[in-house]
Amino acid sequence: MFSSSAFKELSQNNISLYQQQTIYDLNSLLVDPSSSTYGIDNFDLSLLGSDYHQFDNYQQLKFDDINVSSDVERNNLALSIEIDNNNSYQSPAYPTPITQLKQEDTLDWKQHSYYLNSTSLISPISPATTIYSSPSPCPTFDQVIKQENHINLPPSPPDSNGVPSPQSIHHCENFKIEQFDDSYQTALSPSTGENFIDINYYLENRDQKPQQDHQVLRGFLQDTTFQRKHNLKPLPLENLFGGLSQRGDIEPVISLALQHAKLEVQATCNALKISPNPHEWTESQVQLWINSTIKQFKLDSLPKCEILFPENGQMLAMLSDEEFIKRAPQIGSILHAQLEIWKATYVDISSIDNGNSLTSVAGPSSAVPTMSNSLSQTSIWNQMLHDETDVSDDDDSEVGMEIDMQSSPINKSEADMTETPVVKTPTTKPAKTPKKHHTHLQKKGSGTTSSHIHLWQFLKELLASPQTHGTAIRWLDRTKGIFKIEDSVRVARLWGTRKNRPAMNYDKLSRSIRQYYKKGIMKKTERSQRLVYQFCHPYSL
């Protein structure tokens, strides 16, 4: 099951792995282009696990500058991160020409991401032109965590959920260039002419380097506060790297758990008359499921549930554990865990049923987590799942469209931009509709532009597609719902186009925004800044 992420803790010369329940970071990186930076950021969140003081610096990188691609091959998770600031944000703080970072790794990718972040994205004094591959004070895993089948990862929320909490990362200021030693700069590829970090080169040469240096870095890495903060439990390294025999030992347990989960899912599906595939749930079915889960686990009831979780199933499935907890501090984690079980169960169901790899079911992007589908291909499962074969098609197509957009980030014309929300609306926006509009705003899968869209929804749509609209409107602090309109004229024009109001301008648009103050949809920011607005919770979710 991949709902746990493996982290390395660097402590002296020993390596140990820790498990963490949340997976949002990896999701974000792998699935959604608009959340790629969050994904990277969340990595830090996971590894460092403390306060993060340099968010503003980090945010100065636009989404456009970051391409994250992933590949799942040879039973390994390979992660590639490229950051290209060539077309980048022309901030004085980032006078960056071309920078490329690239790495591929297996499960210890986080380790490198961490370095990557600390030197290129977050460190306030380190523009991306001077990226150093910071040396690891301990060996990197060469071993590959063998996965019997491809790892599929759960999708990431398109905009909000990979967001790191500002309290989550700290010590970024520790990562300054002077901490890194020259010899490791040789990891920069000598042949490219670009600052291309060749991780392989680095890996090959790591043993040649004694570990007496980088005291600050090592000291930081030895800080294990993140373990406590994230409830990380030590996991013996051998358990993960011990090879397939270990896997075999736990297989019956997992299989049993899956069977149990499956039965539970089946029963609930029958009772609620909902699909076993959370991606297919409508908004009201999501409410049914949440309430059912609350009852099942005897949780505290959730007032305003439909406002806290207005998503349809597809969107709900993309929310991270963190997001659930943010919305429902008491029970969010349980809800999320339960949803993960449903997702995994369904994927397992589908994979067995199809007799194919998971990607044929979930698609390359929906990436639902699987409990290592090869682990439990029992006849019981097959028998139980015959009636669920043809689910999962329609939502794949939608996600696929988004992936297509990601893979070919062609500059859109202004007219195209106005159409972008049309594509996304069915999957993302109805979920944000206020309760009182559910009836006429949430027809599922219409695929048409909602003429009833609210301004705040529209703004969130724009915010959710930073690659397209990042120059017009962008988040300043996603966690707080603070955003800035960078190009008021353009935003107003887009809004006017959407509403078929040719005379729309920013003056009118801003008046509408101000109406939200007393409605509790938006609020004035603490510090008044021009063109900066702030959503109220939970509208920013």
Partner DNA sequence: AAGGAGGAAAAAC
Partner DNA sequence: GTTTTTCCTCCTT
Q: Does 356 bind DNA (CB under 7 A)?
A: no
At how many degrees (to 10) do helices 36-48 and 109-116 cross?
100
Considering the complex, state which of residue 79 and residue 485 has its C-beta at the smaller distance from DNA. 485
152-160, 208-216, 295-303, 503-511 -> range binding DNA (CB under 7 A): 503-511
Q: Does 501 bind DNA (CB under 7 A)?
A: yes
Q: Does 410 bind DNA (CB under 7 A)?
A: no
Q: How far apart are CA 525 and CA 517, in angstroms?
A: 11
Q: Is 6 helix (H, G, I), strand (E, B) or coil?
A: strand
Q: Does 304 bind DNA (CB under 7 A)?
A: no
Q: How far apart are CA 313 and CA 295, in angstroms?
A: 19
What track of x and - describes contact with DNA for positions 245 through 284 (by CB under 7 A)? ----------------------------------------
Q: Does 517 bind DNA (CB under 7 A)?
A: yes
Minimum distance of DNA from residue 496's CB (angstroms): 7
Q: Does 512 bind DNA (CB under 7 A)?
A: yes
Q: Which of residues 61-90 bind DNA (CB under 7 A)?
A: none
Q: Does 455 bind DNA (CB under 7 A)?
A: yes
Q: Does 435 bind DNA (CB under 7 A)?
A: no
Q: Does 390 bind DNA (CB under 7 A)?
A: no
Considering the complex, state which of residue 261 and residue 509 has its C-beta at the smaller distance from DNA. 509
Burial class (CB in 10 A: 0-12, 13-18, 19+), 28: buried
DSSP state for residue 106 in the 8-state scheme: S
Q: Does 526 bind DNA (CB under 7 A)?
A: no
Q: Does 507 bind DNA (CB under 7 A)?
A: yes
Please enumerate in sequence order all residues whose Cβ is within 8 A of that of 126, keeping only pairs 6 or more positions apart, or say none.
Answer: 119, 120, 175, 176, 177
Q: Is 357 helix (H, G, I), strand (E, B) or coil?
A: coil
Considering the complex, state which of residue 273 and residue 530 has its C-beta at the smaller distance from DNA. 530
Minimum distance of DNA from residue 519's CB (angstroms): 6
Q: Does 504 bind DNA (CB under 7 A)?
A: yes
Residue with tokens 């301990």: 138
Single-letter code of the amino acid located at 72: V
Minimum distance of DNA from residue 22's CB (angstroms): 34
Backbone angles phi, psi at 14, to 5 degrees: -95, 155
Backbone angles phi, psi at 250, to 5 degrees: -95, -5
Minimum distance of DNA from residue 464's CB (angstroms): 17
Task: List the one residue out of 256, 254, 259 whose CA is nearest residue 384.
Answer: 259
Q: Does 474 bind DNA (CB under 7 A)?
A: no
Q: How far apart are CA 152 and CA 73, in angstroms?
A: 11
Other Cβ atoms closer than 10 A to 231: 11
Burial class (CB in 10 A: 0-12, 13-18, 19+), 272: middle
**Tokens matching residue 484:** 């800035």
Q: Does 530 bind DNA (CB under 7 A)?
A: yes
CA-to-CA separations, 97 to 90, 129, 194, 293, in angstroms, rounded:
10, 7, 10, 51
Single-letter code of the amino acid located at 203: L
Considering the complex, state which of residue 188 and residue 459 has its C-beta at the smaller distance from DNA. 459
**Burial letters for 396-430: b for 16+ Cβ neighbours within 10 Å, e otherwise?**
bebbeebbebbeeeeebeeeebbebbebbbbbbbb
Considering the complex, state which of residue 390 and residue 507 has its C-beta at the smaller distance from DNA. 507
48-56, 59-67, 84-92, 450-458 -> range binding DNA (CB under 7 A): 450-458
Q: Does 515 bind DNA (CB under 7 A)?
A: yes
Tell which one of 438, 499, 537, 538 touches DNA (CB under 7 A). 499
Q: Does 536 bind DNA (CB under 7 A)?
A: no
Question: In sequence order, what E strands does 23-172 have?
Answer: 66-73, 76-83
9-17, 71-79, 104-112, 513-521 -> range binding DNA (CB under 7 A): 513-521
Applying CB under 7 A, the site for DNA has a residue count of 32
Q: Does 434 bind DNA (CB under 7 A)?
A: yes
Which residue blocks in 66-138 are alpha helix, DSSP H? 109-116
DSSP state for residue 164 in the 8-state scheme: P
Minimum distance of DNA from residue 65's CB (angstroms): 25
Q: Does 31 bind DNA (CB under 7 A)?
A: no
Q: Does 476 bind DNA (CB under 7 A)?
A: no
Minimum distance of DNA from residue 527's CB (angstroms): 10
Considering the complex, state which of residue 389 and residue 515 has its C-beta at the smaller distance from DNA. 515
Minimum distance of DNA from residue 484's CB (angstroms): 9
Q: Which of residues 479-498 bind DNA (CB under 7 A)?
A: 488, 495-496
Q: Does 456 bind DNA (CB under 7 A)?
A: yes
Q: Does 535 bind DNA (CB under 7 A)?
A: no
Contact 438, 450 (CB under 8 A): no
Residue with tokens 């020993």: 14
Q: Which residues of the chain form contacts with DNA (CB under 7 A)?
A: 434, 436, 451-452, 454-456, 488, 495-496, 499-501, 503-504, 506-512, 514-517, 519, 524, 528, 530-532
